[in-house]
Structure 1
Amino acid sequence: MKDRRRYRRAFAVLFAFFAALVGTAVPAGASAAVSWTEGPCGGTPGITVVADLTKFPGGKVIRRCDTGSPATAFAALADVGLSPEHGTGQGQNGPYDYLCRIDGHPTAAEDPCTGFVPDGGYWAFWVPDTAGANWTYALEGVDTYHPASGAVLGFSFGAGTASDPNAMSLTLAQAKDPNGNPPR
């Protein structure tokens, strides 16, 4: 009987230890802390994330280096502290998610993120062209694009019209240059 109690106590202590250990683990769905630096990655491994907020009052270009290995472009935005948000719309093939907000822009009052508005502004996603010289519109969405180390990701806001173009306000070379002075 004494041995049985000893085993139960040992089991209880081990169980408590493992329960405490599991309790300190990162919960499912949460990500561990990711480090990033201001400016482009330059010669270091990582993903350069460029968010062009110049279409918004007081907006500027934000360039940050995600020093981790984000699984998607959306994750890279989150990793560098730009708080991306999905919007959900209804299309011919059913509901869809899209990139609705970066760093609080547009505000919820400006766009409730319930679907694309005809001739309305949206976040465009840009990557370098095959020559690596200019921005080109990404052929994949932010949730399916898997950036490789050294990638440069660009995001700009606009309606894509003559009066509200949706293009990056800085060149790819400016985005990658650690000494460059992107437009303010």
Structure 2
Amino acid sequence: MNGLSPRCRLAALCVAVVAFSPVPAAVAAPAAAGPVTVSVGTPGYCPTATGVTVVVDYQELGGTTEVRCAPGAQATGLAALENAGFAVTGTQRWGKAFVCRVNGLPTAATEACVNTPPTTAYWSYWHAPNGGSWTYSQQGASGRQPPQGSFEGWSFSLNHGANDNPPPDVAPVRP
């Protein structure tokens, strides 16, 4: 530092102090982990073409079919699912890149959610334009941006093959 001007030496000293100073515990410690409840969505279909209507069909899990609206533009299909008010659990290994549970189903007793769910029991992901028909998504929900006014569908597929996965049992038509 001897060949540097006093101003440069001071700047270099400040950078060194900041770079090697301990980070305060309040900044370094992550927030306590806990369940996250998302409830910005509204029950029913989106009333207009602003927002994305999300349909969750529990199929063989014994539940009903739920329809909710994720208001406004949605960054991804996964965001639409969560912003419609559904609780999503991913896998321990891959996070929400693989949706393992929607609103707690299937239960932990039947699926541990450690790795990718098996091809014989998983949430299949669908999309459709308003008034169109369901299309099995060739993209994961984190990589697809649903257009406003469209439908996102999730249907639990149990013991079905690639050609007979059941689409959601609700027509993608906004009333």
In structure 1, what is the Cα distance between the partners aligned to 2:93 and 2:172?
31
Return the alpha-carbon distance in structure 2 between the equivalents of residues 44 and 126 of structure 1: 18
In structure 2, what is the Cα distance between the partners aligned to 1:44 and 1:118? 35
The DSSP-based 3-state class of the residue aligned with 2:123 is strand
Distance in structure 2 (CA, Å) of the matches to 1:148 and 1:169: 19
**Residues 75, 169 of structure 1: CA spacing in aligned structure 2 closer, same or farther, 3 A cutoff?**
closer
1:123 aligned partner = 123
- Corresponding position of 1:144: 143
Distance in 2 (CA, whole Å) between partners of 1:151 and 1:159 is 26
State the shift of 1:75 in Å.
Answer: 1.3
TM-score (norm 1): 0.63
Partner SS, residue 155 of structure 1: strand
* Unaligned 5+ runs, structure 1: 1-26, 179-184
Quote the sequence identity (%): 30
Alignment TM-score, normalising by the size of structure 2 = 0.66
Aligned residues: 138
Q: Measure the CA separation in 1 of the matches of 2:154 and 2:113.
A: 17
The equivalences for 1:149-160 within 5 A come to 149-159=148-158
**TM-superposed deviation, 1:65:** 0.8
Per the alignment, residue 17 of structure 2 pairs with none
Q: Distance in 2 between matches of 1:155 and 1:82?
A: 11
Deviation at 1:80, TM superposition (A): 1.7
In the alignment, the residues of structure 1 paired with residue 107 and residue 39 of structure 2 have an alpha-carbon distance, to the nearest angstrom, of 26
Q: Structure 1 residues 153, 117: CA separation in 2 closer, same or farther (over 3 Å shift)?
A: closer
Q: Among 62, 81, 85, which residue is 2:85 paired with?
A: 81
**Is 1:65 aligned with 2:69?**
yes
Contact 1:158 1:166 in 2 (8 A): yes
Return the alpha-carbon distance in structure 1 between the equivalents of residues 166 and 174 of structure 2. Answer: 19
CA contact under 8 A between 1:53 and 1:156: conserved in structure 2? yes
Residues 7-156 of structure 1 mapped to structure 2, 5 A cutoff: 35-57=40-62, 59-89=63-93, 97-116=97-116, 118-128=118-128, 133-156=132-155
Aligned counterparts of 2:69 and 2:96: Cα–Cα separation in 1? 29
Between Structure 1 and Structure 2, the one with more strand by share is: 1
Partners of 1:127 and 1:138 within 8 A in 2: yes
Structure 2 residues without counterparts, runs of 5 or longer = 1-30
Measure, in 1, the Cα distance between the counterparts of 2:144 and 2:112. 25
2-structure distance, mates of 1:66, 1:116:
26
In 1, Cα distance between equivalents of 2:138 and 2:131: 15
